[in-house]
Chain A
């Protein structure tokens, strides 16, 4: 994984990216659930008294397991993201509905104290025979039924004050790497402090504290790992997926980089959408006029993370155009360097396209014996009429392709999270 196979970048998450067959997803769900349940039970989460200990200071196992798991997974994800092996933009993060998130947390806090379980732990408790856990699960169903029954009452709170798919570090305005390091340090500090509280509550003497394992090594290693990501430049000069300069030069020389203006005229005349046209001109010019079906992207937007899915979809060639070819060439170079394969430049840009259609008719072509040129000429005349009669300007003729813009992030239906 992560390596380039046939030049196509492979990266996670595997099922959404189509690297693992989605039909197998249920099998992996079962497997992951198995690991989840096993660890929960082994950690002692099947015991309500052990769980409730976190609130009374006699047993902080919940906090220890929880935070260790959280920071391990977080550092792991930061690592894979640094290597470019996972597209963080494709990971599911809950939408943040401010009041709903807080209200839900408060209700769950009450539920935790009263019941001593949370849903995951109640399942492992119930399967090993804890009757209180079984009753707790019954309660969960009742609670959900109540929510469903009064959904119309709860809905304004449930869907109110939507802040989007918000990352905590964005909300705080710091970089992701720093936030990660702070979380790791906070977790380690919490471990130390809660251990001291636990010892005091349990009146643990030296015969217990002296037997305690030494956690210096793992604590040091996780802090060091998080610190490395702060030190490394967040914006790397080169990525593994980058196409080297020699490939860029070669593709311009052998003209693989170009798409002819004729082909664009064909597409417009025949109302096809085989090519995705990308307007690289300033936005004001795009608003005033653009080719049918074209979308607008600036050079700065091309390397941004949220356009990766769009460019990595190789099913349709993407063609950059401007008034001439200079701006399109810049866009192509940036996109091609980022490793996107099916990108091209429209030869000569709009000036050339309109020059072909409306420039001085070339009489030599009309006289020519060359059939190809004759056909071309007839096609151009026909296309000229088509353009002038307004057929080409109908925006609906060629639908704009669906693209995943930052604000148009696919909304995953709210399925109660988890």
Chain B
């Protein structure tokens, strides 16, 4: 009986990576054909941040060119990037739900505690948020989309991300294996 339940809650296996890549390629191609731009995620986070800071502390936001979008007239929330991000949320949830992967948990390497993992996740996110601004896009916006249209900047950023990752991977081995 117990075994039966365990069988039922076992998440479905992940999709074949090449098939997933092929499908993602088709989504990316449609994005370019329909809107003329690629996919991305960090852009929507920025729009949300700009809106939040602009609403809470307009005086502070008014001092920085970074928040100029907020004062450009139309709401930054009603933008392509934000709706794309909202779609990612819905699509991810839908996929997790049908594959039985929903559930609150912290994923970590075998040699670290939950607290360490969360601390490093926070600092990793901080660096990614900062780096995505310099790189004018994250792994999806700059690297993946850049590869599809063969943009020099995008491919350069991609090489920098993975090159750095491999260079320093050894020093952070404890986090993951």
**A residues apposed to B, CB below 8 Å:** 12-16, 20, 25-44, 46-50, 52-56, 58, 60-61, 64-74, 76-77, 80, 86, 88, 90-98, 100-120, 122-125, 127-133, 135-149, 151-152, 154-155, 157-158, 163, 165-171, 176, 179-180, 183, 191, 213, 215, 218, 414-418
CA distance A247 to B96 in the complex (A): 58
What is the total of A-B residue contacts with beta carbons within 8 Å? Answer: 569
Question: Please, which residue of chain A has its CB at the minimum distance from the CB of B122?
Answer: A139
Question: Please, which residue of chain B has its CB at the minimum distance from the CB of A139?
Answer: B125
The answer to whether residues A146 and B124 also contact, given A109-B161, A127-B96, A418-B137 and a CB cut-off of 8 A, is no
Give B39-90 interface residues, CB cut-off 8 Å to A. Answer: 39-46, 48-50, 53, 64-67, 69, 78, 80-81, 83-90
Task: Kindly provide the distance from the CB of B112 to the nearest chain A CB, expressed in whole angstroms.
Answer: 11
The answer to whether residues A117 and B86 also contact, given A90-B36, A94-B142, A94-B153 and a CB cut-off of 8 A, is no
One of B37, B42, B126 near A119 (C-beta < 8 A): B42
CB-defined contacts of B122 to chain A, threshold 8 Å: 115, 135-136, 138-139, 142
Chain B 96-110, CB-CB to A under 8 Å as 1, else 0, gives: 110101111111110
Task: Kindly provide the distance from the CB of A93 to the nearest chain B CB, expressed in whole angstroms.
Answer: 4
Are A14 and B164 closer than 8 Å at their CB atoms? no
CA distance A389 to B135 in the complex (A): 57
Are B80 and A104 closer than 8 Å at their CB atoms? no
Interface footprint category on B: 35 or more
CA distance A69 to B143 in the complex (A): 11
The answer to whether residues A114 and B124 also contact, given A35-B27, A128-B92, A215-B18 and a CB cut-off of 8 A, is yes
Are B132 and A104 closer than 8 Å at their CB atoms? yes
Are A32 and B30 closer than 8 Å at their CB atoms? yes
Which 7 pairs show the lowest CB-CB distances between chains A and B? A115-B124, A33-B87, A139-B125, A105-B160, A143-B129, A418-B40, A68-B21
The answer to whether residues A69 and B22 also contact, given A105-B157, A113-B165, A144-B46 and a CB cut-off of 8 A, is yes
One of A32, A116, A135, A169 near B31 (C-beta < 8 A): A32
One of B20, B65, B83, B138 near A29 (C-beta < 8 A): B83
Task: Kindly provide the distance from the CB of B45 to the nearest chain A CB, expressed in whole angstroms.
Answer: 5
Are B66 and A151 closer than 8 Å at their CB atoms? yes
Task: Kindly provide the distance from the CB of B120 to the nearest chain A CB, expressed in whole angstroms.
Answer: 5
Give B113-135 interface residues, CB cut-off 8 Å to A. Answer: 117-118, 120-135
CA distance A94 to B142 in the complex (A): 7
The answer to whether residues A129 and B105 also contact, given A46-B92, A120-B139, A123-B92 and a CB cut-off of 8 A, is yes
One of A29, A90, A108, A115 near B87 (C-beta < 8 A): A29
CA distance A91 to B148 in the complex (A): 11
Chain B 133-170, CB-CB to A under 8 Å as 1, else 0, gives: 11111111111111111111111111111111111110
CB-defined contacts of A151 to chain B, threshold 8 Å: 64-66
CA distance A129 to B15 in the complex (A): 20
Are B17 and A68 closer than 8 Å at their CB atoms? yes
Are B26 and A70 closer than 8 Å at their CB atoms? no
CB-defined contacts of A130 to chain B, threshold 8 Å: 105-107
CB-defined contacts of B53 to chain A, threshold 8 Å: 145, 148
Are B92 and A113 closer than 8 Å at their CB atoms? no
CB-defined contacts of B17 to chain A, threshold 8 Å: 43-44, 60-61, 64-65, 68
Are B127 and A110 closer than 8 Å at their CB atoms? yes
Are B142 and A140 closer than 8 Å at their CB atoms? no
Are B42 and A418 closer than 8 Å at their CB atoms? yes
Are B18 and A417 closer than 8 Å at their CB atoms? no
CA distance A317 to B87 in the complex (A): 43
Question: Please, which residue of chain B has its CB at the minimum distance from the CB of A172?
Answer: B152
CB-defined contacts of A96 to chain B, threshold 8 Å: 151-153, 156
One of B35, B87, B131 near A104 (C-beta < 8 A): B131
CA distance A334 to B27 in the complex (A): 37
Most chain B C-beta atoms within 10 Å of own C-beta, residue among A54, A140, A165, A179 = A140
CA distance A248 to B138 in the complex (A): 50
